[in-house]
Structure 1
Amino acid sequence: MTASPLIPVQAPAGSFFGWRVVGAAFALAVFAWGIGFYGPPIFLGVLHTTRDWPVPVISAAITAHFLCGAALVVRLATLHRRFGVMATTRAGAILTGLGALGWAIAPAPWLLFLAAPVSGAGWALSSGAALNAMVSPWFDRRRPAALSMAFNGASMGGIVFSPLWVALISGLGFPVAALLVGITAAGVAWVLAGRYLGRGPAEMGLRPDGDPAAPAHGPARPDRQALAPLVHPWRDRRCVTLAAAATLGLVAQIGLVAHLFSLLAPVLGDSSAGLTMGAATACAIGGRSLLGARLPPGADRRRVAAANVGMQALGSAVLLLAGGSVPWLLLGCGLFGLGLGNVTSLPPLIAQAEFRPADVARVVALVTATSQAGYAFAPALFGLLRQDGTGGAALFAAAAAIQLAAAAVVLLGRQPRRSGRTGSSGPL
């Protein structure tokens, strides 16, 4: 379908269509993370308790879920070019719902490995790289704030769906709960994608950030087309260090989150430990929102990312040294929580600053796939650390070490700045 030529105009304050896209992305993220990310840990507990299935088998199926998603997300940019963001997002929501239903109705543990590719495909088509593809065409200068708002839907998904899954499964049973959630997710995604993801800004006669048309003569904006092209991703220092840092940061984060409740509960009690986990998620929303609002346009985003995981490493160190001190445990959780959201939202912003616009979606997909493949094994790896008889000490120490490594790696990718922009690929 060919869009008719329109005259770009300055959007009145508060009416720029891009912010409506951000709102849609936020809502889609609530369902994507609520089902595809926060759902599997709930499924594990339910399947083990109600059907007496072995935890290692269910855990392996969860790992397969994330690995299948990682395998597909590499091709997400290609799928978006071929089918469009709207159709791909709708397909992702349908697959997410079908996958959750497959987990719920599986009559034997081995059948979880047939449900995992379906749920993993849905997760790939609707998670981080997908959110970036929805929002990025609409924003340039204000992309940090826009992506932060969209990714806050991921944190909200945990706040809403973790207790919602428990309540629905307890009241309706797992199969009915999964069917209800799946139908709702598919219906919401179908409507939102059709209304807000069917056209880009150029087709609506708009420019990124709602800017008026560029004057025929005047100062040019910095041109990211002058940046080095992405020819060989795994030989490009920018791409390799970004993917490695994101993977390390998420391995530490997912591994620690998976075990944090059970480590806090003996000291705080189950109820207070649950509230502390919720407060850490609230800190994630606050930290991401603050960064999105305050990140200066010319900031070195790799330094910001290093500071973010450095703050998390400090939180892990505080948890390591806290012992049974409740105030120190709460401080450690707060420091760790403040950086939770930025670990996922900063890589797309670094990619925006360092790569040509045509390469950004590909880089984000590669980084997302790599990190997802890594953190799929994090809960099991951190679980092994708890078997040394030291309680959570080895786990907290490992998290801090990995987070410091992530900070070092992301700084290794810094490039000489040219006219305020990063300009070379720095071959390995």
Structure 2
Amino acid sequence: MPASTPFPPQPFHGWRVVAAAFILAIFAWGIGFYGVGIFIATLSQSRGWPIGGLSAAVTFHFLVSAALVALLPDWHRRFGIAATTRAGAAAFALGLAGWGWAPHPWLLAPAAALTGMGWALCSGAAINAMLIPWFDRRRPAALAMAYNGASVGGIAMAPFWAWLIAGWGFGTATLVVGALLLAVVWPLAGLVLGRRPAEFGQHPDGEATARPAPAKPPAPARDRAALLRDPRFIGLSAAFAIGLFAQMGLVTHLVSLLAPVLGVQGAGLAVSLVTVFALLGRTVTGWLLPAGEKRRLAAAATFATQVAGSLALMLAGGEPWLLLLGCALFGIGVGNLLSLPPLIVQAEFAPAEVGRVVALMQAINQALYALAPLGFGLMRDAASTTAAISLALILQAAAGVMVLRRPG
């Protein structure tokens, strides 16, 4: 009589988690990153609310997220990934309704707090945590595929928002997107994203057997205070924080930089080119990324590519082809600056610390880049557009040098 097995053979569930995380990323970035820019333009045009106040609400959105995302690993441990992700989806939906139906500008503050909570619980650090139990050796490719949902969110959700707003108005559009988010993400959180390999009798990367245990027990995970004193964490976080500050500043002002030469429609297409190359760059890097310290070399190469893109934008003058080349080079970095930090952390920190390190790093990065649109705007007003692009170039170069310096 053949021996019974507790789990029948079945496809590796990890790739279903990647697909579900990809869908989550479409919504998260389509609302929490690209969507907030649409909110500013729509409320300014339709209600005459001042740009400064609307921009302050977006900054508050990112700052709330920065404060909450550092706590994400604790919430995952206490409540589970499924419940935490559902809470994020609910916060997103309620916050969207607040943005769409607020009768006075001051009521955007609670709406921004809710969308900031949704962004914290459903974006980069959350997706990394969802994939950690399922992938180790193949995590670069898995993260690249999941994070490509962020690029698709920019490509697909922006025109979807425009279509809804033109046809039914901003308020109804926010209700439709919120309902669609809940209808899709709520079941995915429980059925796919919150599951563990042991539930299926499977192992990370779909391997037939578990990897042998290390010869000595792993060191316990350090708390946030200890990580903030670690020179490796300080250097790595600082490099990506200033690189993302430069990136956010340029992304926010890119349309206005390109429009004088390419026109508004051409500038919109050029921004789409940035998103397409972000997707391509992240995918190629995810499949070819080396192991260990060489991941820092990939990050330095990414910053160098963005330096070249910023230089092309600065020197373009009235040459459309140089502007498009700059957008393409800059776009490659946009994709990789999202996926590379957790992969470097995976290579350099203890497995038990990876989730906490990634969440804390994202909190610091987000707190800084929330100020980038304002900083670049002030630079353009006080000096010139060339000075603002030069600032981005200098920061990108500094980040590339810093990321290569790994304390012993």
The two structures have a TM-score, normalised by structure 1, of 0.90
Instruction: Say if 1:389 and 1:71 are closer, same or farther in 2 by CA, change over 3 A.
Output: closer
Equivalent residue, structure 2, for 1:207:
203
Alpha-carbon shift at residue 203 of structure 1 (Å): 2.8
Q: Percent identity?
A: 54
Could you tell me how far apart the structure 1 residues matched to 2:61 and 2:221 are?
33
**Counterpart position of 2:45:** 49
2-side partners of 1:114 and 1:6: how far apart?
53
Please, which runs of 5 or more residues in structure 1 have no aligned partner? Answer: 416-425
What aligned pairs does 1:375-414 form with structure 2 within 5 A after superposition? 375-388=369-382, 390=384, 392-412=385-405, 414=406
Asked if structure 2 preserves the Cα contact closer than 8 Å seen for 1:224 and 1:356, the reply is no
Check if 1:294 corresponds to 2:288.
Answer: yes
Residue matched to 1:141 = 137
Greater CA drift, 141-150 or 351-360: 351-360
Q: Is the 8 A contact 1:104 1:178 kept in 2?
A: yes
The RMSD of aligned alpha carbons is 2.0
Structure 1 residue 274 corresponds to structure 2 residue 268: yes
3-state SS of the aligned residue for 1:288? helix
Shift of 1:297: 3.2
The one-letter code matched in structure 1 to 2:120 is A
Counterpart code for 2:395: I
| Structure with a larger share of its residues in helix | 2
CA contact (8 A) 2:130 2:194 kept: no
1:318-397 equivalences in 2 (<5 Å)? 318-388=312-382, 390=384, 392-397=385-390
Query: 1:112: which partner in 2?
Result: 108
The offset of 1:204, in angstroms, is 2.1
**What are the superposed Cα offsets for residues 145-198 of structure 1, whole Å, 9 maximum, x if unpaired?**
000000000111011111111111111111110001001001111111121023
| Alignment partners' CA distance in 2, 1:360 and 1:258 | 30
**C-alpha contact (below 8 Å) 1:91/1:122 kept by paired residues:** yes
- d(CA) in 2 for partners of 1:224 and 1:305? 31
Contact 2:292 2:348 in 1 (8 A): no
Worse-superposed segment, 191-200 or 133-142:
191-200
Structure 1 residue aligned with 2:157: 161
Give the Å deviation of 1:314.
Answer: 1.3
Q: Is the 8 A contact 1:90 1:189 kept in 2?
A: yes
The unaligned stretches of length 5 or more in structure 2 are none
Deviation of the 1:212 alpha carbon: 1.3
Q: Structure 1 pair 245/221, CA: closer, same or farther in 2 (3 Å)?
A: farther
**Segment of structure 1 superposing worse, 21-30 or 195-204:** 195-204
Q: What is the alpha-carbon distance in structure 1 between the residues aligned to residue 369 and residue 123 of structure 2?
A: 14
Cα 1:136/1:270, change in 2 over 3 Å: same
> Do the aligned residues in 2 keep the contact of 1:230 with 1:236 (CA within 8 Å)?
no
1:359-411 deviations in Å (ceiling 9; x for gaps): 00000000010011111111111011111453x21111011111111112222
Amino acid at match of 2:281: G
Residue 422 (structure 1) aligns with: none
Matches of residues 165-314 of structure 1 in structure 2 within 5 Å?
165-214=161-210, 230=222, 232-298=226-292, 300-314=294-308
The 1:269–1:250 alpha-carbon spacing in structure 2 relative to 1, beyond 3 Å, is: same
For 1:297, what is the secondary structure of its paired residue? coil
